[in-house]
């Protein structure tokens, strides 16, 4: 295994719904971003004409976002002066440098780069495959791979976001860490945004993977009944607002989602038993496999990002934490 990450081989580019995906093994490889998403702020004078779109550098008045790689104006709303445009390749280059400067420099990695919506949104996942470990469950050993995710946008739709997590190879679930056992931060694109500090803290959080694996080992043996899992759902992702047609005493629950989640839990318990590990994997199945609940393909990246946040909230919430404490 070479010490220099720049010596690692590259992969192949493929088109996905509403964007591109590039899989490779080199965190310093920024080709997807430098070739298809080179953004800058340009001044706009008024409602743009055809000629303005072809020559955005001539426009003045308020700032818009222009993609030099494609020749497209991708953001026509006024951009606040306080907004800090952080190019995708800039923040990912910082992350690659931090990996090179860390004890992870010699680790084998798999990198998945994705661009969505004309390149306006970027998502990079780095899997640290050499750090794969086993979670012991009733079904045997589950292979779990630590990962680092970075999200960014240049159109003010996504905050800059970094989190560490893991990947369960058996079911292809993205495992979300919660609480103090891992790292998750997001920051708006203001002038005070420090991407170096955020990605640096995320790198340090990977050291927590060993302790998180111990937590998952505990979940694999801690009991979680169907009733307890149902109560967690009713107080979180399956809760719905009141309607005028509701009667007093009605359960304010999204029944369709609730039934789907309970079916997932049953499937997981068939293999893993009625355990917190089964409940956790039902939650991460929902956050990962968005197509199963009717999410259009072009919105999968939005749904997965949002749902991972919901799962993280559940893991840090009182209901889950209390069950974990009582069961232990």
Q: How many CB atoms lie within 10 A of CB 202?
A: 22
Task: Locate 170 and state its tokens.
Answer: 């058996």
> What does residue 80 show for φ and ψ, rounded to 5 degrees?
-60, 150
Rg, Å, the chain Cα set = 22
One digit per residue, the tens of pLDDT, for the chain of length 328 reads: 333 333 334 467 788 878 889 999 999 999 999 989 888 888 766 555 666 566 665 554 567 788 888 888 887 666 666 777 888 998 889 888 888 887 777 888 999 999 998 899 999 999 888 888 787 777 677 788 888 888 888 887 777 787 777 777 554 555 555 443 344 455 454 555 555 655 555 555 566 666 677 788 888 889 999 999 999 999 999 999 888 888 877 788 999 999 999 999 999 999 889 999 999 989 988 988 776 555 555 467 777 778 888 888 898 889 998 988 876 6
What's the confidence (pLDDT) of residue 50? 63
What's the confidence (pLDDT) of residue 158? 78
What's the confidence (pLDDT) of residue 258? 95
The full 3-state SS of 42-106, as one line of letters, equals EEECCCCCHHHHHCHHHCCCEEEEEECCCCEEEECCCCCCCCCCCCHHHHHHHHHHHHHCCCCCC
Q: How many CB atoms lie within 10 A of CB 320?
A: 24
Q: ∠15-21-24 over CA atoms, to 5°? A: 130
CA dist., res. 31 & res. 180, Å (int): 34
């Amino acid at each position: 295994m070479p010490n220099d990450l720049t010596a690692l081989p590259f992969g192949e580019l493929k088109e996905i719904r509403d964007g591109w995906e590039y899989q490779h093994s080199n965190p310093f490889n920024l080709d997807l971003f430098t070739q298809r998403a080179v953004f800058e702020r340009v001044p706009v004078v008024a409602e743009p004409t055809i000629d303005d779109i072809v020559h955005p550098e001539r426009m003045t008045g308020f700032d818009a976002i222009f993609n030099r790689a494609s020749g497209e104006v991708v953001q026509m709303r006024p951009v606040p002066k306080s907004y800090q445009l952080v190019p995708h390749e800039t923040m990912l280059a910082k992350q690659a440098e931090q990996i090179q400067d860390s004890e992870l420099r010699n680790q084998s990695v798999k990198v998945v780069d994705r661009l969505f919506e004309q390149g306006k949104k970027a998502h990079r996942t780095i899997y640290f495959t050499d750090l794969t470990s086993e979670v012991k469950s009733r079904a045997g050993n589950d292979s779990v791979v630590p990962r680092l995710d970075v999200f960014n946008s240049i159109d003010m739709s996504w905050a800059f976001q970094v989190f560490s997590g893991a990947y369960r190879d058996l079911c292809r679930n993205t495992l979300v860490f919660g609480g103090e056992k891992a790292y998750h931060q997001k920051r708006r694109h203001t002038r005070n945004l420090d991407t170096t500090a955020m990605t640096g803290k995320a790198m340090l959080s990977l050291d927590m993977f060993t302790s998180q694996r111990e937590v998952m080992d505990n979940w694999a043996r801690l009991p979680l009944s169907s009733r307890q899992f149902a109560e967690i759902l009713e107080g979180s992702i399956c809760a719905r607002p009141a309607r005028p047609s509701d009667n007093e005493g009605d359960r304010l629950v999204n029944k369709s989602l609730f039934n789907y989640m309970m079916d997932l839990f049953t499937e997981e318990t068939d293999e893993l038993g009625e355990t917190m590990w089964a409940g956790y994997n039902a939650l991460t199945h929902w956050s990962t496999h968005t197509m199963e609940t009717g999410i259009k393909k072009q919105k999968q990246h939005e749904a997965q990002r949002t749902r991972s946040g919901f799962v993280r909230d559940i893991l840090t919430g009182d209901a889950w934490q209390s069950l974990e404490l009582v069961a232990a």
